[in-house]
């Protein structure tokens, strides 16, 4: 059978008021101000001297500062205190390892937008000037379509009121929409690896003026041969066009030894390595409860019964209205499984019991994936069941509970950290993760006794 042709999809364009309102929902909790251990090594050897204590310590232009205030970004998070001045005041590459939900996206978007706006103003740029429609100054690569959409909307919000153009591209986007995005200005281009390859091959973008390359969730795909080849090609193109001054920034909450080794091929030797908090560990302020589920003895239904017990505990009953079926009002919950069909089956079973549950996975059309995530964020669905496409980098406001129905495969053990990290984000402290542990499962047993090592450079 041939490959299934996916339908193209463009979500409705949101106005700036909607984008700001969306960002305002990502509240900064009390733990965001907790002092985390910080280390900065490499560079000039004095990295920690660059750390700031407030946004007042760096010169942020008025338009960006107004937007930061409007989305409740009054003070930088710990990772932002380290990374923003390093991007703004040095010329080095950066590798940053910090906990999930610690504000890594803001740590690179804020200084990049600030720098680009400063350059625009100093060059006398005005709105009537020709837009940059083919030479991105910053290329931000993310591994999933959902994360690209999220980063694009955040960058678009931060760039409001400035002359900085933000564009994005991902799979299942019509090519005419991609051209429209570029035509509207692409000083910053947020893109998936596949589309980046296409844009380079077909000459849609030129990288002679690219100053920043950002790899978000770097450990996810830096070890994939296809992506490593793409990065080498990107860097070689820049060098062939006499662009030797570009900088590379890589971010993640986890880093395996293999990824740590490969990453060194792409970062300059004098790069800064920033470690905020405890690397490769789930955020400490999320309550993690490991629940023994003996599947071999009681069957796979044992996990379903355990999930029902948890969901009943975090739900209230709603009276049926106008002939509607009985349903529960459940605290916002994410459930993680390892394959798409299992996600769908669980969503159907929970829906039959009266829970507002929806599933998503890479097997779905982009429109279905977008609707599932969007409707969950807006509260239409109380439970979102998914694979690891929603485990990394995604912001889900008001999520209080995570159920890890199945532990990730042992070769992807680090995904556990990212799954747990969908709650307790930006310092909120009331998140809880329930982990189903099967003592008779070899996969579960290996992860229970596995100690995730901190990279050698930390």
Please tell me the distance from the alpha carbon of residue 447 to that of residue 111, in angstroms, as a whole number.
Answer: 38
pLDDT tens-place string over residues 417-444: 889 888 876 555 578 999 998 888 888 8
| 292 closest CA partner among 446, 409, 439 | 439
Q: Give the pairing of strands 333-336 and 287-292.
A: unpaired
CATH numeric code, 287-448: 3.40.50.300
**Where does residue 215 rank: exposed (0-12), middle (13-18), buried (19+ CB within 10 A)?**
buried
pLDDT tens-place string over residues 291-315: 988 877 777 789 999 999 999 999 9
Whether the pLDDT of residue 4 is over 60: the answer is no
Please tell me the distance from the alpha carbon of residue 99 to that of residue 274, in angstroms, as a whole number.
Answer: 12
Please tell me the distance from the alpha carbon of residue 237 to that of residue 246, in angstroms, as a whole number.
Answer: 12
What is the pTM for the complete model shown?
0.85
Average pLDDT over residues 263-286: 85
Whether the pLDDT of residue 388 is over 50: the answer is yes
**Of the options 3.30.420.10, 3.50.50.60, 3.40.50.620, 3.40.50.300, the CATH number for the domain spanning 16-276:** 3.40.50.300
Per-residue confidence (pLDDT) for residue 428, from 0 to 100: 52
pLDDT tens-place string over residues 186-220: 999 999 999 999 999 999 999 999 999 999 988 87
3-state secondary structure of 148: helix
451 versus 190: the higher-pLDDT residue is 190
Per-residue confidence (pLDDT) for residue 452, from 0 to 100: 40
* DSSP letter for each residue of 6-22: PPP--PPPPPHHHHHHH
Please tell me the distance from the alpha carbon of residue 381 to that of residue 329, in angstroms, as a whole number.
Answer: 10
Same fold, 16-276 and 287-448: yes
Among 2-6, 84-88, 172-176, 330-334, the least confident range: 2-6
Structural domain boundaries in the chain: 16-276, 287-448
pLDDT tens-place string over residues 220-263: 778 788 898 999 999 999 999 888 889 999 998 888 777 788 88
Please tell me the distance from the alpha carbon of residue 191 to that of residue 198, in angstroms, as a whole number.
Answer: 11
- Those residues whose C-beta lies under 8 Å from the C-beta of residue 39, and which sit 6 or more positions away, are 48, 274, 275, 458
Per-residue confidence (pLDDT) for residue 85, from 0 to 100: 97
pLDDT category at 104 given cuts 50, 70, 90 is very high
Task: Kindly compute the dihedral angle of the four CA atoms of residues 236, 240, 245, 246, in this order, to the nearest 10 degrees.
Answer: -40
Please tell me the distance from the alpha carbon of residue 416 to that of residue 286, in angstroms, as a whole number.
Answer: 13
Average pLDDT over residues 91-96: 96
287 versus 200: the higher-pLDDT residue is 200
Average pLDDT over residues 77-99: 95
For residue 446, the 8-state DSSP code is H
């Amino acid at each position: 059978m041939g490959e299934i042709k996916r339908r193209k999809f463009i979500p409705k364009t949101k106005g700036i008021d909607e984008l700001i309102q969306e960002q305002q929902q990502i509240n900064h909790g009390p733990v965001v101000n907790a002092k985390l251990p910080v280390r900065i090594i490499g560079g000039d050897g004095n990295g920690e001297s660059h750390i700031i204590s407030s946004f007042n310590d760096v010169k942020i232009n008025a338009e960006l500062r107004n937007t930061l205030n409007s989305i409740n970004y009054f003070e930088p998070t710990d990772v932002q205190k380290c990374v923003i001045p390093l991007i703004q005041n040095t010329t080095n590459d950066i590798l940053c390892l910090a906990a999930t939900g610690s504000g890594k996206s803001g740590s690179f978007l804020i200084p990049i937008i600030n720098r680009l706006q400063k350059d625009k103003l100093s060059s006398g740029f005005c709105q009537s000037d020709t837009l940059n429609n083919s030479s991105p100054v910053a290329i931000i690569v993310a591994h999933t379509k959902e994360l690209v959409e999220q980063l694009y909307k955040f960058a678009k919000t931060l760039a409001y009121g400035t002359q900085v153009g933000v564009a994005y591209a991902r799979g299942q986007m019509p090519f005419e929409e991609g051209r429209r995005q570029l035509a509207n200005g692409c000083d910053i281009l947020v893109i998936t690896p596949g589309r980046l390859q296409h844009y380079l091959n077909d000459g849609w973008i030129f990288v002679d003026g690219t100053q920043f390359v950002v790899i978000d969730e770097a450990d996810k795909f830096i070890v994939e041969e296809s992506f490593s080849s793409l990065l080498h090609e990107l860097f070689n193109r820049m060098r062939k066009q006499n662009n030797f001054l570009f900088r590379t920034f890589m971010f993640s909450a986890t880093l395996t030894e293999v990824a740590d080794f490969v990453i060194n091929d792409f970062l300059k030797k004098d790069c800064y390595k920033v470690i905020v908090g405890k690397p490769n560990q789930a955020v400490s302020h999320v309550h993690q409860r490991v629940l023994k589920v003996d599947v071999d003895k009681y069957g796979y239904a044992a996990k379903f019964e355990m999930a029902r017990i948890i969901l009943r505990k975090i739900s209230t009953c709603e009276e049926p209205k106008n002939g509607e079926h009985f349903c529960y009002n459940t605290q916002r919950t994410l459930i993680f499984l390892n394959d798409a069909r299992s996600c769908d089956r669980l969503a159907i079973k929970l829906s039959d019991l009266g829970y507002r549950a929806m599933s998503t996975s890479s097997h779905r059309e982009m429109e279905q994936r977008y609707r599932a995530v969007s409707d969950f964020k807006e509260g239409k669905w109380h439970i979102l069941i998914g694979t690891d496409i929603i485990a990394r980098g995604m912001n889900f406001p008001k999520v209080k509970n995570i159920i890890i129905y199945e532990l990730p495969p042992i070769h992807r053990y680090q995904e556990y950290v990212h799954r747990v990290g969908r709650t307790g984000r930006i310092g909120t402290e009331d998140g809880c993760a329930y982990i189903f542990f099967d003592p008779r499962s070899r996969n579960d047993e290996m992860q229970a006794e596995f100690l995730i090592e901190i990279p050698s450079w930390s």
